[in-house]
A and B are shown apart, each in its own frame.
Chain A
Amino acid sequence: MRFKHILGLLCAASISVVLAGHASAQQTVKIGGIFPLSGNAASAGVHAKAAIETAMDIINNAHPELGNFPLAKNAGLAGLGGAKVEVVFSDNQGSPATGQNQALRLITEEKVVAITGAYQSGITLTASAIAEKYGIPFLNGESVAANLTERGFKWFFRTTPIATDFAKVYFEFLKDMKATGVKTDSVAMVHDNTEYGTSVATVITSVAKEQGLSAPIDIAYAANATDVQSQVLQLKEKKPDVVIMITYTSDAILFAKTMQALDYKPPMLLADDAGYSDPSFIKAAGKLSVGTFNRSSWSVGPAGSPTALIAEMYKKRSGDEMDDTAARQMQGFLVLCEAIDRAGSTDPAKIQAALKATDLKPDQLMMGYKGVKFDDKGQNILAAGVIIQLQDGENYVAVWPKAAAQKPPVMPYKGW
């Protein structure tokens, strides 16, 4: 008798669990978000989380003030009967192995229907390999290592412009600057030995060769350095006209401080986003890096525009100004949700098909891309960007190309 009782209770319990599971599956769409929430890149990860949460706010609540911005008008995803989007955040700890484990956990235990992340190119590399294996769409909005979309993956999509695009932008920019009388003959690259640093350096070198220029001076170092005096002294000795910095935040701060201590100013300093776009870099070392050129696809836009409203929402949540990296992550996540909405389903295969059919126009985006449309490799072929400059040590302004410029570029590099 007692056994029967227990059995009955168990049955009832399991039925209710199944029912509850079913009900919640209709109400929420679970997406995994892998970011460096601890470890040395944690400041980037925390900003990424705030950006994704801002996007969730836009999607899950009605925001008529954003006009025709996709997913904003009504609460939830219209294509799924107003289903809410829920992001399960997980911490990659700055390690490719951890990122991979987290992807596995999100897919097998949290049962997410898609994943976004993972900031560092080296971690996006490992985490997306798991998503590929399980047939789960992986949308990356921020990693720029070129090889990520050269692996023949079917489930990997990337909205950001990549290293190759930016290398071309850099050299066009340098050519234009040369035409105005700025010396740009010798270029040096300072980069760390991570997937990001080495791949961007390799791409810049090959683009330089394609354009018939001499190969840049290559100064590689191990990431998270305790000291960079020797690297700065190497630059001081070689006297390049242009120094391209390809580093994450911690090393970027150390370089800025060391350059000041050793009184070294290159005539032109061009940063490849990453550390130099981190708001905490600008707070910690912006005043030592006045005149730094950087790349960006983000611009706040006029007051009252959707981008300005989004920037305001983001600042309220994170306490910091929206930066290019956080904005690219947010854009990537929005593209993913737009595809899920269009798919009208949480079936990964249908989401994948919807992603493949994505065709967003510039006015549907928060970034300055020419649109979003993926090629067979999953790369957005309409991604674009501009050159910005830290003219006052506090805020970047767009300076190139002329059509997008808020202010003309200022030379030479001022430093501090």
Chain B
Amino acid sequence: MSTILVQVIVGGLLLGAIYALFSSGLTLVWGMMNIVNFAHGDFVMLGMYVAFVVYTLLGAGPLLGAPLAVLVLATLGGVVYFGLIREIMKGPMLAQILGTFGLALLLRYSVFWWFGANFLTLPENIVGGTFDIFGLRIQASRLLAGVVALLVTLGLHLLLTRTSLGSKMLAVAEDSTAAQLMGIRPDTMQAIAWAIAAGATGLAGALIATFFYIVPTVGETLGIVAFVTVSLGGFGSVPGALVAGLLIGVIESLSAYLIGAVYKDIVVYSLFLSFLWFRPQGLMGKT
């Protein structure tokens, strides 16, 4: 195999890990509450802007920017839950969809108004440049994002399957009335789920900002991939989102390299649709 082909596959894997990273928050909310959060891409965008502000004001990289993004977004997640989601969940499905869609536009254009439409970037070497391993180029910033993606996936998975908080959250997801009878407060659990999901999304944003451009509409560009990753991985399955993200990343890179970039979406989405035809619950979703 030529070095370039190896580079394509490695690049695809790293890209996929990043897809997985910014999808994990969505899968949590979508899988647990059956709410499609259309503002998800804009949560990623906010995480990116937190990283940018931390860099411009304090000159600090993701070491400070990422935890702060988690904090800011987790708080926002809680606020959004109590201020919006809890109310619209009582309404019809359409209200839920339009509610989060409205939130997406509100966030996007607030940032637009405050920061302007200009494209921003963080310095290239903010996470230590690029490694060259036998001619294989690996960007430290992407590698960091990939490693964090694995850790976040593992962490969320353990939280849901091994802790009592996780069990309570899953209980609420399964049957909130029954959970309430067992002494679990659905409201608290769902607010926690939103905070965790938004926090993970903010983390993703802060890390993606180290190698991507930052602009108020960036959530649009990244958002669609998150939805595809989550439905391929299986609703509510955190490990599923990881596997799906990696798969999509590699298929995208390979098809762009071998067939042509303009056709890669055709390849990815036709594979995606035919897979769902056979397995509508996704890779690791429950039926």
Contacts and interface: CB of A to CB of B under 8 A. Distances in A.
B121 A253 contact: yes
Contacts of B212: 254, 257
Interface string B106-128: 00010010001111110010000
Interface centre among B12, B261, B265 (most CB of A within 10 A): B261
Interface in A246-276: 249-250, 253-254, 257, 260-263
B183 interface: no
Interface residues of B, number: 40
A40 to B, nearest CB: 5
Given A250-B119, A262-B137, A284-B119, A221 B261 contact: yes
A43 B117 contact: yes
Contacts of B275: none
A231 B258 CA distance: 10
B215 A40 contact: yes
A300 B211 CA distance: 34
B70 interface: no
B130 A263 contact: yes
A37 B117 CA distance: 8
A236 interface: yes
Contact of A220 (B142, B216, B220, B262): B262
B34 interface: no
Contacts of B4: 233, 236-237
A108 interface: no
B256 A230 contact: yes
Interface string B129-147: 0101000010100100000
Contacts of A228: 261
A283 interface: yes
Contacts of B117: 37-38, 42-43, 45-46, 280
Contacts of A220: 260-262
A219 interface: yes
Contact of A43 (B12, B118, B142, B257): B118
Interface string B208-229: 0001110111001110010000
Interface in B190-248: 211-213, 215-217, 220-222, 225
A221 B4 CA distance: 19
B37 interface: no
Given A225-B261, A230-B256, A237-B4, A263 B120 contact: no
Interface residues of A, number: 43
Contacts of A45: 117
Contacts of A257: 121, 124, 211-213
Nearest to A261: B139
A230 B257 contact: yes
B137 A263 contact: yes
Contacts of B112: 38, 42
A211 interface: no
Interface string B6-26: 011001100100000000000
Contacts of A219: 260-261
B270 to A, nearest CB: 15
A281 B119 contact: yes
A222 interface: yes
A285 interface: yes
A288 B222 CA distance: 24
B252 A234 contact: no
Contacts of B130: 260-261, 263
Nearest to A285: B121
B15 A227 contact: yes
B153 interface: no
B213 A284 contact: yes
A186 interface: no
A288 B264 CA distance: 27
Nearest to A279: B118
A184 interface: no
Contacts of B116: 43, 46
Interface of A: 37-40, 42-43, 45-46, 193, 219-222, 224-231, 233-234, 236-237, 249-250, 253-254, 257, 260-263, 278-281, 283-285, 288, 416
22 contacts: A42-B216, A43-B119, A219-B261, A224-B221, A227-B252, A227-B253, A229-B8, A229-B12, A230-B8, A230-B11, A231-B256, A233-B4, A233-B8, A250-B213, A261-B137, A262-B7, A263-B130, A278-B119, A279-B118, A280-B117, A283-B119, A288-B124
Given A43-B118, A226-B222, 12 more contacts: A221-B256, A228-B261, A230-B254, A233-B7, A233-B8, A233-B257, A253-B119, A257-B124, A262-B7, A280-B120, A283-B118, A284-B119
